[in-house]
């Protein structure tokens, strides 16, 4: 294997799953950041292979995914379904690639670090399997706010309820939401009638949907698949990933995950309890000073974060900070973040940049 | 004052605010229940006075609200803004009327009971001021589920996050949501762009809205007005009303209230802690047996409640029941209920029926 330094020091980057919702945003993110890359390669599903893309000024032809695709690649970002990730990550590693995987397949493996550059950047070096996992978008919405507060006051309990966007289900999710919105938008008479919106949507669009219930004019308290005890995989991911990234294996967590008719940007209502007495003013100041967090929090001017503020932006937007009235050492607050950007693409690219530095150094 | 018995025993009912979102549903609810009423009178704002309505087979002319409107009325249901309710409730009481008020103006008065017929029906007789208050729609979404569980296991803590419908802001809220949906539905290209949906909505519809941010393709974590410490009036209402209806003045409560782009039916994610060891199977069975609660809760068949299941229906729909993994004696669950029906109109009518029985008895 040729060393990175012997090839001029600029690493070769691969993006697998380039044409999905996350893949497209990854291209945008790469174009906005310092171009530290040598060659860039892109792969996608069979139907997109052969078409062209422009990434960071390089005109690229989308390749089909084969073992040879990884030859000479230094770092590969994978955004593919979990089963494909579990299959292809070891193939890439066997060719000497450091893999950054955005699926949920490998996040639980104790030999695969789960890295958020603002929180645990040093963990990128702890990769005995050559794989680094990217947390899920809902965890990434809350994790650096929690890390800032944990550093000051020691997080002990977390109760969260999410408001998750359709794009968490990829391009097919975004398309379905718009399809449904176009069906219902012209039917004001139905908004108040039991079942009629559901019947209209299913009549016009069919029952096949990436969501287990209509999403337009509705909210759907089911994301992922069934895990033990009535919990969804999505809810347990928040628990497991938050514990792993913060290094708090005994953190007490309850999460309720709900899909809402928003295209992009997840929101989370957080009730967080700390070991030490937390003061809302000090907490707000700590978040104001956090580089990746924007505080939008002024009841007098009705300043608070919404998904429409977060979409297309890098930071997490935090607001509605309140001292819990009846719970000691507890704050309630609300966070919004772009689930495709920091919630997926941006974090992968940040991790890739850290790995590039590590390979060079 | 003539006694009710001397007038044949059928009480005269008045509905003030007959043409609002709640007033219209109140008419529907009255038509679906046993007609125990003698005369029915309706009043509404100036611009609707003189137009005709049909309620329970009676053709009625909408009257303007004057003190004389209340002459001979036994029971009046008020659905008007808080300031008007505070002004007119005593006027009605002075004419011998029992007032059921759906505004938030009087709910905190210790001499005015807050009544949910499934929970504290006997409180209708405890009305030293001649006024009974109706709880807010979000409290009414959760209160009878909480009452059932409290009866078995003794509720001590409540952390809730709401998903509240546009009709909580009345007809103007419903119209604004549909206006916004029609603006955004045809613009798929904007779903991923920071600020563009907001700019488009404000350009097409103007900035004047019943909501403090765009609601289409968004969620808005601000309902009501600013109270102390960054809390909204809506959030503190849930705390105060739940405490009052359940008779638990020290119940620990944190609520986050969020408006979502749903026309009608509120949803609430609940994290509830009890004094005694609660088992999820026993809790589910207790809710199955509760007359006003429908349990939709089967992960295997993807059965869970959504607003589209609840709209136009009388019961509360409960599901996603889970034993909290890290919190002793705690359950997490999700409840949906029609905010105009049980959340306002149905509860008012049920209370009016109880008062009618009390006046007759």
Can you give the three-state secondary structure of B283-336, one letter per residue? HHHHHHHCCCEEECCEHHHCECCCHHHHCCCCCEEEEEEEECCCCCCEEEEEEE
Long-range contacts, stretch A203-206, CB < 8 angstroms, 24+ apart: A205/A176, A205/A179, A205/A180
Give the pLDDT score at B339: 97
- H or E stretch at B104: none
Question: Over 80: is that where the pLDDT of A324 sits?
Answer: yes
B85-123 pLDDT, tens digit per residue, is 999 999 999 999 999 999 999 999 999 999 999 999 999
- B254·A300 Cβ contact <8 A: no
Encoding tokens for residue B69? 């409107």
Q: Binning pLDDT at 50, 70 and 90, where does residue B361 land?
A: confident
Q: How confident is the model at residue B76 (pLDDT cuts 50, 70, 90)?
A: very high
Task: Tell me which residue in B220, B304, B306 faces A306 most closely, judged by beta carbons.
Answer: B220
State which residue of chain B sits closest to A175, comparing Cα positions: B188
Digit-coded pLDDT (tens) for A91-136? 999 999 999 999 999 999 999 999 999 999 999 999 999 999 999 9
Q: What is the pLDDT of residues B140-174, one digit of tens each?
A: 999 999 999 999 999 999 999 999 999 999 999 99
Q: Strand A75-78's sheet: what is its strand order? A: A40-43, A13-16, A75-78, A98-101, A131-133
Chain-chain contact of A320 with B230 (C-beta, under 8 angstroms): yes
Instruction: State the DSSP code for B186.
Output: T
pLDDT higher than 70, residue A6? no
More confident residue, A298 or A45: A298
Give the chain B residue nearest A322 (alpha carbons): B230
Could you give the angle at the alpha carbon of B298 between the alpha carbons of A230 and B137, nearest 5°? 90
What pLDDT is stored for residue A192 in this prediction? 58
CA distance A265 to A177: 14
Determine the average pLDDT of the residues in B269-284.
97
Residue B36 CB partners (closer than 8 Å, separation 6+): B10, B11, B353, B356
Residue matched to tokens 């850290």: A354
**Is residue B212 scored above 60 in pLDDT?**
yes
State how far Cα B241 lies from the chain centre: 12
Whether residue B2 is predicted with pLDDT greater than 60 in this model: the reply is no
Tell whether the model's pLDDT for residue B193 goes beyond 70. no
Q: Do B222 and A157 touch (CB under 8 A)?
A: no
Tokens 């997080």 correspond to A155
Model confidence at B1: pLDDT above 60: no
Confidence of residue A194 (pLDDT cuts 50, 70, 90): low
Spell out which residues of chain B touch residue A214, defining contact as CB-CB under 8 Å.
306, 308
Query: Is ipTM strictly over 0.90?
Result: yes
Nearest to residue A145, comparing CAs of A274, A283, A280? A283
Residues of chain B positioned with their CB less than 8 A from the CB of A220 = 306
Å from A188 to nearest chain B CA?
Answer: 7
**Chain A CA closest to residue B227:** A299
Q: How confident is the model at residue A74 (pLDDT cuts 50, 70, 90)?
A: very high
Q: Is the pLDDT at B331 greater than 90, yes or no? A: yes
Q: Which two tokens stand for residue A128?
A: 């005995």
By the 8 A CB rule, do B142 and A152 touch?
A: no
CB contact under 8 A, B308 and A217: yes
**Residue A214: CA atoms inside 13 Å, Cβ hemisphere, count?**
26
Query: Collapsing DSSP states into helix, strand and coil, what is residue B359?
Result: helix
Give me the pLDDT at residue B210, please. Answer: 97
Mean local confidence (pLDDT), A268-293: 97
pLDDT computed for residue A175 by the predictor = 94
Residues 6+ apart with CB under 8 A from A315: A292, A293, A294, A337, A342
Cβ within 8 Å, pair B308-A198: yes
User: Pick from A290, A340, A251, A313: which is nearest to A144 by CA?
Assistant: A290
pLDDT tens column, A142-166: 999 999 999 999 999 999 999 999 9
Rounded-to-integer distance, Cα A204 and Cα A181, Å: 11
pLDDT score, position B197: 81
Taking alpha carbons only, the member of B83, B157, B125, B35 closest to residue B115 is B125
**Which run of H or E residues covers position A77?**
strand A75-78
Taking the C-alpha atoms of residue A195 and residue A201, their distance in angstroms, rounded to an integer, is 10
Query: What is the rounded average pLDDT of the residues A164-173?
Result: 96
- What are the start-end ranges of the H helices in chain B? 21-32, 82-94, 137-153, 170-185, 196-205, 233-246, 280-289, 307-310, 346-360
Q: Cα distance from A146 to chain B (closest Cα, Å)? A: 18
* Listed range (A194-208, A297-311, B209-223) with the worst mean pLDDT: A194-208
Determine the average pLDDT of the residues in B67-89.
97
What is the β-pairing status of strands A52-55 and A58-61? antiparallel
- pLDDT tens digits along B12-54: 999 999 999 999 999 999 999 999 999 999 999 889 999 999 9
pLDDT on residue A185: 86
Taking alpha carbons only, the member of A17, A147, A171 closest to residue A80 is A17
Note if the pTM is more than 0.95: yes
Q: How large is the average pLDDT for residues A227-240? A: 97
- Chain A residues with CB inside 8 Å of B201's CB? none
- Tell me the C-alpha distance between A129 and A151, whole Å: 29
Q: What is the mean pLDDT of residues B192-204?
A: 79
pLDDT, mean of residues A178-188:
88
CB-nearest to B192 from A159, A264, A323 is A264
The pLDDT assigned to B333 comes to 98
How many residue contacts between A and B have a Cβ separation below 8 Å? 237
Per-residue pLDDT at B105:
95
Q: How many angstroms separate the CA of residue B229 from the nearest CA in chain A?
A: 6
Distance CA A220, CA A262 (A): 12
- In percent, the amount of chain A with pLDDT more than 90 equals 91
> Which residue reads 């004057």 in tokens?
B66
Q: Which of these, A149, A157, A159, lies nearest to A287 by C-alpha position?
A: A149
The predicted model gives B326-352 an average pLDDT of 97
Q: Give which of B140, B161, B162, B151 is closest to B274, Cα–Cα.
A: B151
Higher pLDDT, A62 or B206: A62
């Amino acid at each position: 294997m040729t060393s990175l330094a012997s090839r001029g020091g600029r690493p070769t980057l691969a993006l697998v799953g380039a044409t999905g919702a996350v893949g497209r945003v990854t291209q945008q993110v790469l174009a906005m950041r310092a171009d530290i890359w040598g060659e860039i390669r892109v792969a996608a599903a069979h139907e997109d292979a052969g078409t062209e893309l422009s990434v960071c000024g390089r005109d690229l032809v989308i390749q089909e995914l084969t073992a040879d695709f990884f030859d000479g690649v230094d770092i590969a970002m994978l955004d593919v379904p979990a089963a494909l990730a579990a299959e292809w990550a070891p193939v890439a590693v066997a060719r000497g690639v450091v893999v950054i995987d955005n699926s949920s397949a490998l996040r639980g493996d104790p030999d695969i670090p789960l890295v958020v550059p603002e929180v645990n950047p040093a963990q990128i070096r702890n990769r005995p399997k050559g794989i680094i996992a990217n947390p899920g978008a809902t965890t990434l919405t809350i994790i650096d706010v929690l890390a800032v507060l944990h550093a000051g006051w020691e997080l002990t309990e977390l109760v969260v309820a999410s408001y998750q966007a359709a794009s968490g289900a990829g391009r097919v999710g975004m398309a379905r939401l718009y399809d449904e919105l176009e069906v219902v938008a012209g039917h004001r008479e139905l908004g108040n009638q039991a079942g009629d919106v559901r019947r209209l949507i299913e009549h016009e669009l069919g029952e096949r949907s990436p969501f287990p219930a209509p999403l337009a004019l509705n909210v759907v308290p089911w994301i992922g698949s069934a895990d033990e005890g009535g919990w969804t995989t999505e809810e347990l991911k928040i628990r497991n990933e938050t514990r792993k990234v913060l290094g708090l294996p005994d953190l007490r967590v309850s999460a309720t995950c709900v899909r809402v008719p928003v295209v992009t940007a997840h929101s989370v209502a957080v009730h967080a309890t700390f070991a030490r007495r937390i003061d809302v003013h000090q907490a707000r100041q700590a978040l104001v000073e956090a580089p990746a967090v924007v505080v939008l929090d002024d009841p007098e001017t009705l300043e608070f974060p919404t998904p429409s503020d977060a979409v297309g932006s890098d930071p997490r937007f935090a607001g509605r900070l309140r001292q819990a009235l009846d719970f000691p050492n507890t704050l309630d607050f609300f966070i919004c973040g772009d689930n495709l950007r920091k919630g997926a693409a941006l974090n992968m690219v940040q991790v890739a940049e850290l790995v590039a530095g590590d390979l060079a150094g």
